[in-house]
Structure 1
Amino acid sequence: MTEHTHDDHRPVSIPIPLDTWPRREHFEHYRHTSPCTYAMTVELDVTAFIEALRESGRKTYIAQIWALATVVNRHDAFKMCLTEDGNPGLWQVINPAFTVLNRRTETFACVWAPYDSDFTAFHDVAASLLERHADATRFFPQGDLPANVFDVSSIPWTSFTGFTLNIRDGWEHLAPIFTIGKYVERDDRTLLPLSVQIHHAAADGFHTAKLLNELQDLLTHPDWLNRPE
């Protein structure tokens, strides 16, 4: 997948036609009248996903990131941005930016990989990035992030039942933010805590629930983890 770009390869957003956009009033209300974000934390059943991962030899974190990026890229509500004139626009593709821990300094770096609907191709690129920047001391070792990214972070050392980011002056940030927690074992099932932070101007609870349900379906049917023969 590719996005429209300028000659300097910067991604270009596509303006949303406001006159025919069903969510125009909702967008304007939650951006100007009552600007707000909301967070939703769920426990996803990853029992089948974990079993398939063991057989595939793939990296768990990268598989989690790809699954998130896949469902995000299905829906315009999660590819929203603001154009240069301040109106809502859409990225054709939005790429995941994700954290990598430097265990020596106990600091993390933020890297990004271009989304690819082919999991194998994405896995190979992301695995190389994580290995290359495992000892990074800069916050953004690849340089400035491109504009068309959404954020994923992982806290695999603890589980949680709620997680909220408090972003000062974050009313211009329309992309979703995901936080992954530590697996929980319950009733012979493996559960994954996941928090998603959403700008209400971009998406309502309906849209977020749809995204999470589709994510659960991907994790319940993880045949995409298998390498082609």
Structure 2
Amino acid sequence: MSLNTTTTPIDLTTWSRREYFYYFTKMMPTGFTVNVDLDITATQDWLRKHDYKFNPTYLYLVSKVMARFPEFRIGRENDQLVRYEVLHPSYTIFHEDDHTISNLWTAYDPDFATFYQNYLDDISTYGNQHTPAPKQSQSANLYMIGSLPWTNFTSYVPLPFTPLQTFFPIIQAGKFTEHADNWTMPLSVTIHHAVADGYHVSQLLAMIQTAFHDPTEWLGA
């Protein structure tokens, strides 16, 4: 399968965020996390009707939304800041027998059916390999997205222990909670302040909620 790694160089002489990028990487390195409760009722109903799994749908919808926000697709190639056309989800799977995890990734495709099949193929090929990263990749445009289906958290903050090579968000979902006829899921977005402010994260979260409210429009019937 073809992996989209298309980039556009960022011209620092004309980039509107140049001074903010310098400030938040050199003078005051800062990141932040925003946590919300996402209403997933409509998507849950759609998935039951069409017999699809939740996790690949979640990965697809977030990846599709991120393709519409240039702030969240910024990385480096040979010290050159670039903006990727798309990001591919890198996620963990849980092994029930020994309670370990493995990290997988699936190539994003704008067509939901194609992405869904890519995901199933990856699970079939690598899902039973009890190693940290059974599917290797040299691609630089993988972003971290996962879930803690056992915990309904109110805050989730990942702590990187190595220098950043990209400025992609880290996204984490939590346990579903039923409220009368509605279902919610906690969702956390962590981002480096060099590339995005609270406004940008708010807009991202609002569109993710829109996607989960209207699965027919975003996934197709």
Does the pair score TM above 0.5? yes
Q: Percent identity?
A: 30
The answer on 1:73 being equivalent to 2:61 is: no
The answer on 1:60 being equivalent to 2:54 is: yes
Aligned partners of 1:67 and 1:226: how far apart in 2?
A: 12
Aligned partners of 1:105 and 1:133: how far apart in 2?
A: 16
Aligned partners of 1:92 and 1:225: how far apart in 2?
A: 20
Note the 1:42-53 alignment, pairs <5 A: 42-53=36-47
CA displacement at 1:187 relative to structure 2 = 4.6
1:169 to 145, 152, 162: 162
CA displacement at 1:143 relative to structure 2 = 1.7
| TM-score normalised by length of structure 2 | 0.93
The residue identity in structure 1 corresponding to 2:85 is Q
1:96 matched residue in structure 2: 89
Deviations along 1:146-200, one digit per CA (max 9) or x if unpaired, are 2111011111111111100111234444111111101112253210111111011
The residue identity in structure 1 corresponding to 2:76 is L
1:8 matched residue in structure 2: none
Aligned partners of 1:20 and 1:29: how far apart in 2?
A: 16
Given that 1:79 and 1:93 are in contact with CA atoms closer than 8 Å, whether structure 2 keeps it comes out as yes
The answer on 1:132 being equivalent to 2:133 is: no
| TM-score normalised by length of structure 1 | 0.89
Deviations along 1:4-36, one digit per CA (max 9) or x if unpaired, are xxxxxxx46432011211111111111111111
SS for the counterpart of 2:13 is: helix
Residues matched between the structures, number: 219
1:153 to 146, 169, 190: 146
Aligned partners of 1:59 and 1:88: how far apart in 2?
A: 36
Aligned partners of 2:51 and 2:147: how far apart in 1?
A: 20
2:11 matched residue in structure 1: 17
SS for the counterpart of 1:20 is: coil
SS for the counterpart of 1:120 is: helix
Deviates more, 1:199-208 or 1:164-173: 164-173
The answer on 1:26 being equivalent to 2:20 is: yes
Ranges in structure 2 where 5+ consecutive residues have no aligned partner: none
Deviations along 1:98-152, one digit per CA (max 9) or x if unpaired, are 1111212211111111111100110011012123322211211112452111011
Given that 1:31 and 1:171 are in contact with CA atoms closer than 8 Å, whether structure 2 keeps it comes out as no
The answer on 1:182 being equivalent to 2:149 is: no
Backbone CA RMSD of aligned residues:
1.7
Note the 1:204-219 alignment, pairs <5 A: 204-219=197-212
The residue identity in structure 2 corresponding to 1:137 is H
SS for the counterpart of 1:50 is: helix
Runs of 4+ aligned structure 1 residues displaced above 6 Å come to none
